[in-house]
Amino acid sequence: MQIPLKPVVLLLVVASLLAACGQKVDTAAPGQADASAFTIVKIGHVGPTSGAVAHLGKDNENGARLAIEELNAAGVTIDGKGVTLELMAEDDVADPKQGTSAAQKLVDAKVAGVVGHLNSGTTIPASRLYSDAGIPQISPSATHPQYTRQGFKTAFRLVADDAQLGATLGKYTVGTLKGKAIAVIDDRTAYGQGVADTFSKAVLAAGAKVVAKEFTTDKATDFRAILTTIKSKKADVVFFGGMDAAAGPMLKQMKSLGITAKFVGGDGICTEELMSLAGDAIADDQVVCAQAGGVEGEGRTDLDAFKARYKVRFGSDIQVYAPYGYDAVRVMVGAMVKARSADPVKYLPVLAATTGFKGVTGPISFDGKGDIRNAALTLKTVRAGKLETLAVIR
């Protein structure tokens, strides 16, 4: 059910598009226009909406959906014609094969653009299909560097990549947490292995030792064997490259084995769901994680307003990247408005040239690869069962 938007919300949406695009956005109520004058512009979204990380995939999808609902409520015109935006949502179950299958469905449906995928392991293979079809793709959460280093002009992302995330966590682990003997575990996914490798290099460069390197899978639930090995190495920090669905049980098993080491990880574990999955196994300040993205100062006002609207619409708090899914839709539609066309051939160059678009996640500008410029990272910890921000780093 769609919650009616207050007039002030509509004005904020319209104002942001006007400022970003310099084009007219028609704010007349849909009932005041001839319905036959409106054309459908399809925008795809792909993420895992079933499976172990469905809560994260649905979070991203909800962010994109809220943007489309708000823009439709405000009214959008492209080249003087009324437009109705339509979200086509597909489930890739965080599986590369299903990811490419979902991508092909969207290509066949001739969507104007795609928001997604959630995981690097599905985003990267799907990106070739979108590139071949000339369809712009903005991932709100895929962090593997390879995604935007394939030479595809259609690939964009709104968050920092694993090279920045892993390096920052490595330096923080040694410099601030004073880690000396560090164990590294990854789940063998493109994301998990990539961020673990970058973290390991940063740790070694900072003068600490990696006393154990172990791996598991993103489907595993029993980690006692590798944790027992790590305990024998007397590790004071355990780094996990993977998602919260595995991190929760891992933390429980660490506690049962008497392992009190700090637990460090990337954005995959930096979720509100982690506390539910780990139960009472997390001690205050034991977990340190980094989310790719972050705002501070005056930017908090827009983000907090988004979070409030999200909770009213969906009845729950955001997980991690819903705001980036929201901004991905808005910057994409903003480029269409500015280009006076929803044809990917015409609006793609405008999207690539985006500079200073005002998003709820901060200003959005893309570099030549399609990465966001001046990307931020937010370091967080868990205290009293809740995530608390330690610092925003650029």
Q: Quickly count helices (H) and strands (E) in the chain.
A: 12, 15
- Region of poorest pLDDT, from 15-24, 217-226, 233-242: 15-24
User: Could you tell me the two tokens for 213?
Assistant: 């390197």
Is residue 92 predicted with pLDDT exceeding 90? yes
Which CA distances in Å does 80 have to 12, 77, 163, 255, 341? 21, 6, 43, 62, 10
pLDDT digits (tens, 9 = 90+) for 238-274: 999 999 999 999 999 999 999 999 999 998 899 989 9
Helix (H) or strand (E) holding 349: helix 344-352
- Report phi then psi at 339, rounded to 5: -80, -10
Do 376 and 81 meet the contact criterion of CB atoms below 8 Å apart? no
The 3-state DSSP class for residue 138 equals: strand
Which CA distances in Å does 266 have to 126, 141, 185, 331? 23, 12, 12, 26
**Residue 272's pLDDT is what?**
87
For residue 366, what is the DSSP state? Answer: B
Over residues 80-91, the mean pLDDT reads 97
Nearest to 92 by CA among 136, 126, 127: 126
Nearest to 43 by CA among 110, 101, 111: 111
Task: Indicate the pLDDT class of residue 33, thresholds 50, 70 and 90.
Answer: very low
Mean pLDDT, the chain, integer: 90
Indicate the pTM of the whole model.
0.77
User: Could you tell me the two tokens for 308?
Assistant: 């409030």
What beta strand segments (E) does the chain contain? 39-47, 76-78, 81-91, 113-116, 137-139, 155-157, 181-186, 209-215, 237-241, 262-265, 287-292, 357-359, 362-364, 377-383, 386-393
Q: How far from chain centre, in Å, is Cα 306?
A: 16
User: Could you tell me the two tokens for 70?
Assistant: 């708000």
- Report phi then psi at 282, rounded to 5: -100, 120
How far is the C-alpha of 160 from the C-alpha of 80, rounded, in Å? 36
pLDDT digits (tens, 9 = 90+) for 343-392: 999 999 999 999 999 999 989 999 999 999 988 889 999 999 999 999 88
Percent of the chain with pLDDT over 90: 80
The 3-state DSSP class for residue 237 equals: strand
Over residues 118-128, the mean pLDDT reads 96
Which CA distances in Å does 7 have to 29, 74, 309, 359? 11, 9, 13, 19
**Residue 265's pLDDT is what?**
96
Helix axes 299-314, 322-339, angle to 10 degrees: 100
**Residue 8's pLDDT is what?**
40
Is residue 153 predicted with pLDDT exceeding 60? yes
Nearest to 110 by CA among 34, 50, 20, 39: 39
Is residue 220 predicted with pLDDT exceeding 70? yes
Task: Indicate the pLDDT class of residue 293, thresholds 50, 70 and 90.
Answer: confident
Pairing outcome for strands 181-186 and 237-241 = parallel
How far is the C-alpha of 348 from the C-alpha of 133, rounded, in Å? 12
**Residue 282's pLDDT is what?**
96
Q: How far from chain centre, in Å, is Cα 178?
A: 29
- Region of poorest pLDDT, from 6-10, 28-32, 204-208: 28-32
pLDDT digits (tens, 9 = 90+) for 166-212: 999 999 999 999 999 999 999 999 889 999 999 999 999 999 999 99
User: Could you tell me the two tokens for 315?
Assistant: 């009845």
- Region of poorest pLDDT, from 31-45, 148-162, 258-272: 31-45
CATH 3.40.50.2300 fits 7-160+295-374, yes or no: yes
Task: Indicate the pLDDT class of residue 29, thresholds 50, 70 and 90.
Answer: very low
Residue 30's CB is within 10 A of a number of other CB atoms, namely 13
The domain ranges of the chain are 7-160+295-374, 162-292
- Report phi then psi at 168, rounded to 5: -65, -45
What beta strand segments (E) does 192-339 contain? 209-215, 237-241, 262-265, 287-292
The domain made up of 162-292 has a fold known as: Rossmann fold (3.40.50)
Helix axes 299-314, 54-74, angle to 10 degrees: 100
- Region of poorest pLDDT, from 5-19, 106-120, 273-287: 5-19
- Region of poorest pLDDT, from 113-122, 289-298, 318-327: 289-298
**Residue 38's pLDDT is what?**
62
